[in-house]
A and B are shown apart, each in its own frame.
Chain A
Amino acid sequence: MKNLWDIFKKGVIVENPIFVLALSLCPALAVTASAITSLTMGFSVMFVITANNVVVSLTRKLVNPKVRVPVYITSIATIVTLVQLLLQAFAPELYQALGIYLALIVVFAIILARAEVFASKNSVIPSFFDGLGMGAGFTLALLLIGCIRELLGAGSIFGIPVIGDWYDPALIMILPAGGFILIGYLVGGFKMLTEYMEEAEAKKGDA
């Protein structure tokens, strides 16, 4: 049990997909202008990555290694289509808001990377938790960006005004430019944090 928790935790903190691996940052960032779209995107990715890890892990002995990448892509594309249809049916507004970016989950590098690095070598249950952890880390990172951008750019979180009338929203945060700049500082901040933690760890080792 502890082992599975470690796999999950690794995805959320140690190898947090956006800030540490810097993989798959592509299109996800476009939907972080508000908290709710970030959350939907995060959950969609989490679902796709977990389901794909399970599928890849289940079929890992059947698939010839030479054709594994096309097989992974087909599996991912199928799951993404499923998510598209589900969102279209049950949350049409969110489907509209995410637009083309939902379809683009197919080419998120992280999903393919997890299939290749983890799921193709491990059994189903660890793969499931790996997907869940990576997905949760991705969701948290997106949600953090989304909340900051919405808070500064519109003075609200999840559409609920929290700051009050005196605050004059900084429109730039909702524009793509603000998104880029914020992510730049967050990447730097995360790097500082990990370095600090490593140093603390090293000091503990000395003593």
Chain B
Amino acid sequence: MEYFTLFISAVIVNNFVLTKFLGLCIFFGVSKNLNASIGMGMAVTSVMTLSSMLAWVVYNFALVPLNLTFMTTAVFVLLIASFVQLLEMIIKKQAPALYNMWGIYLLLIATNCVVLAIPLLNAESSFSFLKSVVYAVGSGLGFALAIILMASLREKLRLADVPKPLEGLGIAFILAGMLALAFTGFSGMITL
């Protein structure tokens, strides 16, 4: 039950994009097209899950015993960036079809705020391994949900008559605001 509430809280109540402003660069960059946003959502979820597993191991078996927790930020950034590079190489070699579909997104998320934030939050709240994984999967799916919703809205918007100065980024921000407002309705549903 505890894991379930954590999961729901990460997907909906504390949605990372809409309540914490994380991952906005790709959220606005890739949400112009529905297919691309689905790919991005899946890529972020998988990278986030794998990298928080890795980061959990490094944090609890290397940084904590050696008293190096002040280096967490630097270690995690390098860890995730190199891990994503490695993942890219493996996928390119082993599954070229998958690489053609999602490969470009992998590089974009190598140094992304939301991918870095989850391991940092896991370390900060000293979650157990299983809890970290649940949290990472939930946050990833929350991100996917937000970006897919946003892309569907923006595809509709293509036919709309938007005031000229607001075209592009301006209206995208206002839309995100409306979405965030809708998600505010969930706040307080689960308190951790």
A: residues with CB less than 8 A from B are: 22-30, 70, 73-74, 77-78, 80-81, 84-85, 100, 103-104, 106-109, 112, 172, 175-185, 187-189, 191-192, 195
B70–A73 contact, CB under 8 A? no
Chain B window 4-38, contacts with chain A (Cβ cutoff 8 Å), 1 for yes, 0 for no? 00000000000000111111110010000000000
**Residues 126-170 of chain B: 1 if any A CB is under 8 Å from the residue's CB, otherwise 0?**
000000000000000000000000000000000000010110011
Verify if B106 is at the interface (C-beta below 8 Å from A).
no
Q: Which residues of A contact B77 (CB under 8 A)?
A: 73, 77, 106-107
Do A104 and B113 touch across chains, with their CB atoms under 8 A apart? yes
> CB within 8 A of B174: which of A24, A84, A185, A195?
A185
Q: How far is the CA of A183 from the CA of B181 in the complex (A)?
A: 15
Report the separation of the CA atoms of residues A86 and B177 in the bound assembly, to the nearest whole angstrom.
Answer: 34
A78 to B170, CA, bound (A): 34
Give the CA-CA distance A3 to B82 in the complex, in Å.
Answer: 39
Contacts of A195 in B (CB 8 A): 165
Return chain B residues, CB-CB under 8 Å to A182: 177
Choice from B21, B112, B124, B184 contacting A107 with Cβ under 8 Å: B112
Q: A73-B78, A100-B121 are in contact. Are A106 and B174 (CB under 8 A)?
A: no
Q: How far is the CB of B149 from chain A (nearest CB, A)?
A: 14
Minimum CB–CB distance from A98 to chain B (whole Å) comes to 13
Q: Which residues of B contact A26 (CB under 8 A)?
A: 21-25, 113
User: Please, which residues of chain A bring their CB within 8 A of the CB of B124?
Assistant: 100
Q: Which residues from chain A contact B163 at a C-beta distance below 8 Å?
A: 188
Contacts of B121 in A (CB 8 A): 100
A30 touches B20 (CB 8 A): yes
Q: What B residues does A74 contact at CB under 8 A?
A: 74, 78
Provide the bound-state CA to CA distance between A100 and B81, in Å.
Answer: 19
CA gap between A18 and B99 in the complex, in Å: 33
Contacts of A104 in B (CB 8 A): 22, 113, 116-117, 120
Can you name 7 A-B pairs with beta carbons within 8 Å? A23-B25, A26-B22, A27-B117, A77-B78, A108-B113, A187-B173, A192-B165
Q: Which residues of B contact A70 (CB under 8 A)?
A: 78, 81-82
Give chain B residues whose Cβ lies under 8 Å from the Cβ of A27. 20-22, 24, 113, 117
A103 touches B18 (CB 8 A): no
Q: Which residues of B contact A106 (CB under 8 A)?
A: 73-74, 77, 111, 116
Asked whether, in the complex, the Cβ of A172 is within 8 Å of the Cβ of B25, the reply is no
**Closest approach, in angstroms, between the C-beta of A81 and any C-beta of chain B?**
6
Across the interface, A177 reaches (CB within 8 A) one of B116, B117, B120, B177, namely B177
Nearest CB in chain A: distance from B165 CB, A? 4
Do B177 and A184 have beta carbons less than 8 Å apart?
A: yes
Using Cβ atoms and an 8 Å threshold, which residues of chain B touch A100? Answer: 117, 120-121, 124
Q: For the complex formed, measure the closest distance between the CB of A168 and the CB atoms of chain B, giving whole angstroms.
A: 19
B165: A residues at CB distance < 8 A:
188-189, 191-192, 195
Kindly list the 3 A-B residue pairs having the minimum CB-CB distance in the complex, ordered from nearest.
A184-B173, A180-B177, A181-B177
Q: Is B172 an interface residue (CB 8 A)?
A: yes
Q: How many Å lie between the Cα of A65 and that of B23 in the bound state?
A: 28
In the complex with contacts A80-B73, A100-B120, A176-B21 CB distance below 8 A? yes
Contacts of B18 in A (CB 8 A): 176
Give 17 new A-B contacts, CB below 8 A, not counting A26-B23, A81-B74: A22-B28, A22-B169, A27-B22, A30-B20, A30-B22, A77-B74, A81-B73, A100-B124, A103-B120, A176-B20, A176-B184, A181-B178, A184-B170, A184-B176, A187-B170, A191-B165, A192-B165
